[in-house]
Structure 1
Amino acid sequence: MRTLTVGAAQLGPIQKAEGRQEVVARMIALLDDAAAKGCDLVVFPELALTTFFPRWYMTDPAEIDTWFESVMPNAATKPLFDRARELGVAISFGYAEKTPDGHHFNTSILTDKAGAIVGKYRKIHLPGHSEFDEKRAFQHLEKRYFEPGDLGFPVWHALGGLMGMCICNDRRWPETYRVMGLQGVEMVMLGFNTPSVNSQKSDEGIEDRLFHHKLSLQAGAYQNSTWVIAVAKAGDEDGHHLMGGTVIVDPNGKVVAETKTEGDELIVHPCDLDATRFGKETIFDFKRHRRIEHYGLITSQTGVEPPSV
C-alpha cells in the first residue's frame, strides 16, 4: 500500500479585521495537531489567510491589493512554512495571488515535506459577477477581483503519488476532475468558501448547498477513481455565513471522514493511493472505454445550442 495520512484542516470564520498573523497562528495549531496524529499532508481552505473578501465591493486598486500576496512564502506565512518543514509535513492552502506583472489569481499551492513549493494551481471556474448587483442578497465578486486561471489542471508527482488541485466552484464542473483523471490523478486537494444561502435564490439554503457540494465531490471521485480532500472555511464572517462541509472522499465516491463543527477542526484519514487502481483499471479504464469521437461539443462550444428544428 502507498498510504498517505491526510489532515483536512477546516478553518472557522476569519473576520475582516483579523490579521494574517492571527490566522497563521491558527493554521500552525492545526498543523501541530495533524503532525501529532501522524499526518503526511495537511490541506487548508481556499483564501485561507483572510476573510472571503470578494463579498465586499471595492473600487480602489490599492485597497484591493491589500488582500493579495505578492510573494509566497512572505513574512506573514514564513512561520507556517518553517513549522511544516520542522515537522516534516507537506501543506496545501489557498490565497489571493498578485503576480510580478500585475495579474490577480485565486491560487492554491502544494509543498513537499521540506517546505518547498512543488505545485501551483490557479482557479479556473470563477463564479459570481464583476459589478455591484443590487438584486443579490449579498455580493460575490470573484469575477471582479480575479482572472481565470492560466495554468490548466496540472497533476504532479509528489508525496509518492499523483496529486492535483482545484478550488471551490471548480468542484461543480466534471471537466475539472476528468482532465486530472486523464493524467492519472490519485488525490485532488480542494479548498472552498461557500455561502450557506444562494444569493440569487433565498430558498436554497444550507441543506441543499451541502447536498450539491457532496454530490459534486463524490461523483468526481468515483468517476475518476481518485481521493478528494475538500476543506472549508466555515461559520459567520462579519454577518455572512459559510456552510462548512469539510470531507474526505474515497475513490469509490464514499465520504470516509467529515467535520462536525463550523470552527477550526481537523479530520484525519489514511488514504491508500493504491485504492485508486481498481476503478482506473476496470469501469473507468479510459483507454479501453472512452469514445472521444463523440465528445467534440465539450471543447468546441461554451453556451447551450439546441439542435435545429
Structure 2
Amino acid sequence: MPIKSPEAPLTVACLQMEPVFGDTERNIATSISMIEQAAAQGARLMVLPELCNTGYVFASRAEAFALAETIPGGPSTRAWCNCAAQLNVYLVAGITEREGESLYNSAVVIGPEGFIGRYRKVHLWGDEALYFEPGNLGFPVFKTRIGTLGCQICYDCWFPESFRMAALQGAEIVCVPTNWVPIPGQDPHREAMANILVMAASHSNSLYIAAADRVGTERGQPFIGQSLITSYTGWPVAGPASVTQPEIVIATVNLADAKRHRNWNDFNQVLKDRRPETYEPTGVVK
C-alpha cells in the first residue's frame, strides 16, 4: 500500500490507555490491540501515552532502571516496529529508556520501515528528577513520508519555547505522549489546563497537535485522560476524550494546512512576525 503524501488527508489517532505498572508485556499487548483498532478505522499516525510500556510511578531509581530498555534494541520498540511494518502505520510512543547508566523519559518515532528516531523529555516533572536525566537531544523534528513530525512529552507543553522550536524547524504536527495529572486550582467546569495549553500552542504556532494521555490511578496518583487532537487553528478536531476510560480519539487532517494557512491575513504570519531581537530582558523601567 503506498504511503499518503503530506498533501493528502491523513488520519491521526491518540490511543488513550491505562498501563499496568511493571507489566511491560501486558502493556505492549494492550497498545498493539489499540493500534490495530485504530488502523482498522483508517489511522496512519498514532500517538500513545507517556511511559506506556512500564507505567509511571516508580518507587526508586533502581526500579526504573530495572524496567527500562535500550532503544531501538529493546523488546518494546521491536514489538512496535513489527506492528508498524505489518499495518503500514507510524507510531509515537512513550517509553522508559536506558542508555548506559543514564535513564530518560523518552518517546520513540516508528514507521513502516522501522525505527526513525527518539525524543527525550526536556522538562522533568516532580519525582521524575529522581530517576531521569533531562533530555539532551533538544527538540528534533522527523521528516517522514506522511509529513514532518515533532515530539514533546507532558510537562514540555508548559513551555512555549518547546512548540516554537518545533514550528521553526518545519514541524506540521507535534505528537505528545503524556501523563497529565490534576493541576491545583483547576475549575471542574472548565476544560483541563493541559487542553488549554495545547490549544493555545496550536494556534500561536500554526501546528496540529496530537496529545495522548492515560487514565486510571497508579500507586495513588490519578491521571486525567482528556486526550485530544487540535487543528493548526487551535480548536480541537477530536476529543477531549473521557476522564476515566480508555478511548481512541481520531481525526482526519491535512498536515500541509499547518504551513499553507499560517498567514492570518494580508499582513500577519505567526512565525514571520516574530521579533527575536526584542525578546531579551531589558531591566526594570523606573
TM over 0.5: yes
SS at match of 1:234: coil
* Alpha-carbon distance in structure 2 between the residues aligned to 1:179 and 1:158: 18
The one of 141, 144, 149 aligned to 1:158: 144
Question: Is the counterpart of residue 108 in structure 1 residue 107 in structure 2?
Answer: yes
Residues 2 and 272 in structure 1, CA contact (< 8 A), matched pair in contact too = yes
SS at match of 2:188: helix
Q: Which residue of 2 aligns with 1:7?
A: 13
Q: Which residue of 2 aligns with 1:300?
A: none
Seen in structure 2, the aligned counterparts of structure 1 residues 238 and 63 have a Cα distance that, compared at 3 Å, is closer
> Deviation at 1:278?
4.1
Question: Is the counterpart of residue 169 in structure 1 residue 155 in structure 2?
Answer: yes
One-letter amino acid of the structure 1 residue matched with residue 125 of structure 2: P
* Alpha-carbon distance in structure 2 between the residues aligned to 1:75 and 1:206: 41
Seen in structure 2, the aligned counterparts of structure 1 residues 44 and 285 have a Cα distance that, compared at 3 Å, is same
Query: Per-residue displacement from partner, 1:38-79 (whole Å, max 9, x unpaired)?
Result: 11111101101122124x3x2xx5433113112434235533
Query: Per-residue displacement from partner, 1:205-256 (whole Å, max 9, x unpaired)?
Result: 5738953111110111011111000000112223321011100000000011
Seen in structure 2, the aligned counterparts of structure 1 residues 209 and 168 have a Cα distance that, compared at 3 Å, is farther
The one of 260, 284, 287 aligned to 2:269: 284
Q: Which residue of 2 aligns with 1:134?
A: none
Residues 15 and 49 in structure 2, CA contact (< 8 A), matched pair in contact too = yes
Q: Which residue of 2 aligns with 1:293?
A: 277
Q: How does 1:26-45 map to 2 (within 5 A)?
A: 26-45=30-49
Q: Which residue of 1 aligns with 2:178?
A: 192
Q: Which residue of 2 aligns with 1:214?
A: 195
Question: Is the counterpart of residue 66 in structure 1 residue 47 in structure 2?
Answer: no
Residues 224 and 284 in structure 1, CA contact (< 8 A), matched pair in contact too = no
Residue ranges of structure 1 left out of the alignment (5+ in a row): 129-140, 298-304
Seen in structure 2, the aligned counterparts of structure 1 residues 68 and 209 have a Cα distance that, compared at 3 Å, is farther
The TM-score with structure 2 as length reference comes to 0.88
Seen in structure 2, the aligned counterparts of structure 1 residues 47 and 210 have a Cα distance that, compared at 3 Å, is farther
* Alpha-carbon distance in structure 2 between the residues aligned to 1:183 and 1:34: 29
Residues 53 and 67 in structure 1, CA contact (< 8 A), matched pair in contact too = no
Q: Which residue of 1 aligns with 2:253?
A: 271
Residues 112 and 159 in structure 1, CA contact (< 8 A), matched pair in contact too = no
CA RMSD of aligned residues (A): 2.2
* Alpha-carbon distance in structure 2 between the residues aligned to 1:186 and 1:293: 25
One-letter amino acid of the structure 1 residue matched with residue 98 of structure 2: K
* Alpha-carbon distance in structure 2 between the residues aligned to 1:185 and 1:71: 23
Q: Which residue of 2 aligns with 1:307?
A: 284
* Alpha-carbon distance in structure 2 between the residues aligned to 1:112 and 1:79: 12
Query: Per-residue displacement from partner, 1:123-160 (whole Å, max 9, x unpaired)?
Result: 111122xxxxxxxxxxxx01111111111111121133
Q: Which residue of 2 aligns with 1:121?
A: 119
* Alpha-carbon distance in structure 2 between the residues aligned to 1:65 and 1:195: 23
Question: Is the counterpart of residue 49 in structure 1 residue 53 in structure 2?
Answer: yes
| Identity percentage of aligned residues | 28
The TM-score with structure 1 as length reference comes to 0.82
Q: Which residue of 2 aligns with 1:138?
A: none
One-letter amino acid of the structure 1 residue matched with residue 88 of structure 2: G
